[in-house]
C-alpha cells in the first residue's frame, strides 16, 4: 500500500467513485505523493526508458530536422525552442549539441521547458548547465514568437477517460473501493454526446478512450505556429484512431496492476493521433509516420555506422541494439508514431510527408 492509496480510499469512500482521468491526475501529479512530483522515473533505476535515453542519435536527428525547418522558414532572428515534458533534459541536450554548428541557430534560440515535476526540473538544469532554460508549468506562458517545439512521450501521460459502448449508450470506467482495495468498474449506461460520432465505428462491448487535455494543448501550440511560424514534432506510442483498452501501468520496466500502488507506478495510455490532428486548427499536419520510417528517412543507419567505427566489444553491441530498438518494427519502430505541425503553406520538416 502507498500513502496515496489510503488518501484515495478515504476520498472515494466519502464522495463516491472517480473517473479514470481523476485517478490518473492524482497518481501522477499529487503535490506530495504523485509519481512525477516525487521521483526521476527514467533509466535502468527507474520504471521506463525513452528514445533519447536509448541513444544520442534520436535527439541529434531531431535537432537537425528542427534546424532545417528553421532555415526553410526563413531563419527567423529570434524563436522559442521548447520541449514539453522534457524528462531529464537528454533530448534537448542532444538537440543543442547537434545544432551548434548551424550558423545563427543558437544565437536565435530562446530555450524554454514545460515541466511540472520539481525533481525533473533539477535533472534538466544539471543536464543543460551550458544553457539558460526558462521553465513553465503550462504551454500558455511561452513567449509569443516563432516556435520550434518537441513533445516526446508527453501526450501518453495525460489523463484519459474510458468508455465501453452499451446498447443504451456508454458506460464509463470508474475507480471504486471494494473492502480496502481500489478497483475499476463501470457506470450505468448513458448517452455521451461527445461520443456520438463513434457510434458509426463501434459495437456494444468495444472501448473508446478520450483525452480532454490533449486538444487545448495542441490548439495552443497550433495557434502559435499559425501566428508566428515554426513547427511542432510529436512522438508517442499510439495510433490514428482510439479503440480498445490501452490504459497501463509500468513499474521497474514491467507491467503492473494500475490500481495496486497509486503514485508508485507510471500510468499511460496510447495517443489518438487523429484527435491531435483535428485539434491542430489553422496549421497543416503531416501524415502520421512510424518512428522507424521517420528516423530512417533522416539517415539514422548512416549515423549509426559512423558512430560504430569508434566502438568495440560491449559498447558496439549496445550501440547496435540501440539502433534496432529505435527503428525495428518489433521494437519502438512501429509502436511509436510521429506527427508534425507547420504553418499552412510551409514545407513539412524533413522526414515527414502529407
Is there a contact between 201 and 264 (Cβ–Cβ < 8 Å)? no
3-state class (DSSP) for residue 336: strand
pLDDT of residue 118: 85
Is the pLDDT assigned to residue 349 strictly greater than 60?
A: yes
Task: Report pLDDT digits (tens) over 97-119.
Answer: 999 999 999 999 999 999 988 88
The residue count of the chain comes to 354
- pTM: predicted TM-score of the whole model, two decimal places: 0.94
- Residue 77: all three cell numbers together: 532572428
pLDDT of residue 116: 85
Is there a contact between 238 and 276 (Cβ–Cβ < 8 Å)? no
pLDDT of residue 36: 83
User: Which class for 29: exposed (0-12), middle (13-18), buried (19 or more C-beta within 10 A)?
Assistant: middle
Phi, then psi, of 153 in degrees rounded to 5:
55, 45
User: What percentage of residues in the chain have a pLDDT greater than 70?
Assistant: 97
Is there a contact between 223 and 282 (Cβ–Cβ < 8 Å)? yes
Q: Cell 507547420 maps to which residue?
A: 342
pLDDT of residue 319: 94
Closest CA to 37 of 77, 3, 83, 76: 3
Could you tell me the pLDDT band of residue 47, with boundaries at 50, 70 and 90?
A: low
3-state class (DSSP) for residue 83: strand
pLDDT of residue 45: 54
Q: In whole angstroms, what is the distance from residue 162 CA to residue 172 CA? A: 6
Task: Report DSSP state, residue 28.
Answer: H
CA 5 and chain centroid, separation: 26
Q: In whole angstroms, what is the distance from residue 319 CA to residue 295 CA? A: 15
Q: In whole angstroms, what is the distance from residue 5 CA to residue 252 CA? A: 19
Q: For residue 329, count other CB atoms closer than 10 A to its CB.
A: 11
Q: In whole angstroms, what is the distance from residue 209 CA to residue 86 CA? A: 25
Closest CA to 299 of 307, 287, 310: 307
CA angle 314, 316, 317 (to 5 degrees): 60
Amino acid at each position: 500500500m502507498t500513502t496515496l492509496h489510503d488518501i484515495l480510499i478515504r476520498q472515494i469512500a466519502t464522495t463516491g467513485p472517480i473517473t479514470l482521468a481523476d485517478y490518473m491526475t492524482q497518481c501522477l501529479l499529487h503535490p506530495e505523493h504523485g509519481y512525477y512530483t516525487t521521483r526521476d522515473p527514467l533509466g535502468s533505476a527507474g520504471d521506463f526508458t525513452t528514445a533519447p535515453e536509448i541513444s544520442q542519435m534520436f535527439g541529434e536527428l531531431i535537432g537537425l530536422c528542427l534546424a532545417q525547418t528553421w532555415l526553410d522558414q526563413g531563419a527567423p532572428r529570434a524563436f522559442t525552442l521548447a520541449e514539453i515534458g522534457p524528462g531529464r533534459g537528454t533530448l534537448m541536450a542532444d538537440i543543442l549539441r547537434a545544432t551548434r554548428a548551424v550558423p545563427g541557430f543558437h544565437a536565435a534560440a530562446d530555450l524554454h521547458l514545460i515541466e511540472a515535476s520539481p525533481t525533473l526540473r533539477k535533472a534538466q538544469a544539471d543536464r543543460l548547465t551550458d544553457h539558460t532554460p526558462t521553465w513553465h508549468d503550462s504551454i500558455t506562458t511561452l513567449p509569443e514568437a516563432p516556435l520550434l517545439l518537441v513533445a516526446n512521450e508527453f501526450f501518453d501521460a495525460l489523463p484519459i477517460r474510458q468508455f465501453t459502448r452499451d446498447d443504451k449508450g456508454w458506460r464509463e470506467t470508474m475507480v471504486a473501493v471494494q473492502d480496502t482495495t481500489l478497483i475499476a468498474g463501470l457506470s450505468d449506461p448513458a448517452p455521451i454526446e461527445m461520443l456520438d460520432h463513434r457510434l458509426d465505428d463501434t459495437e456494444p462491448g468495444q472501448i473508446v478512450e478520450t483525452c480532454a487535455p490533449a486538444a487545448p494543448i495542441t490548439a495552443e501550440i497550433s495557434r502559435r505556429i499559425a501566428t508566428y511560424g515554426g513547427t511542432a514534432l510529436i512522438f508517442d506510442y499510439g495510433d490514428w484512431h482510439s479503440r480498445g483498452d490501452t490504459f497501463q501501468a509500468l513499474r521497474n520496466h514491467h507491467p503492473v496492476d494500475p490500481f495496486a500502488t497509486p503514485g508508485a507506478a507510471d500510468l499511460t495510455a496510447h495517443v489518438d493521433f487523429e484527435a491531435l490532428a483535428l485539434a491542430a486548427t489553422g496549421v497543416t499536419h503531416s501524415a502520421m509516420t512510424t518512428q522507424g520510417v521517420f528516423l530512417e528517412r533522416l539517415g539514422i543507419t548512416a549515423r549509426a555506422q559512423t558512430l560504430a567505427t569508434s566502438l568495440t566489444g560491449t559498447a558496439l553491441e549496445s550501440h547496435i541494439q540501440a539502433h534496432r530498438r529505435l527503428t525495428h518494427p518489433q521494437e519502438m519502430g512501429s509502436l511509436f508514431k510521429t506527427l508534425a505541425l507547420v504553418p499552412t503553406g510551409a514545407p513539412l520538416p524533413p522526414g515527414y510527408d502529407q
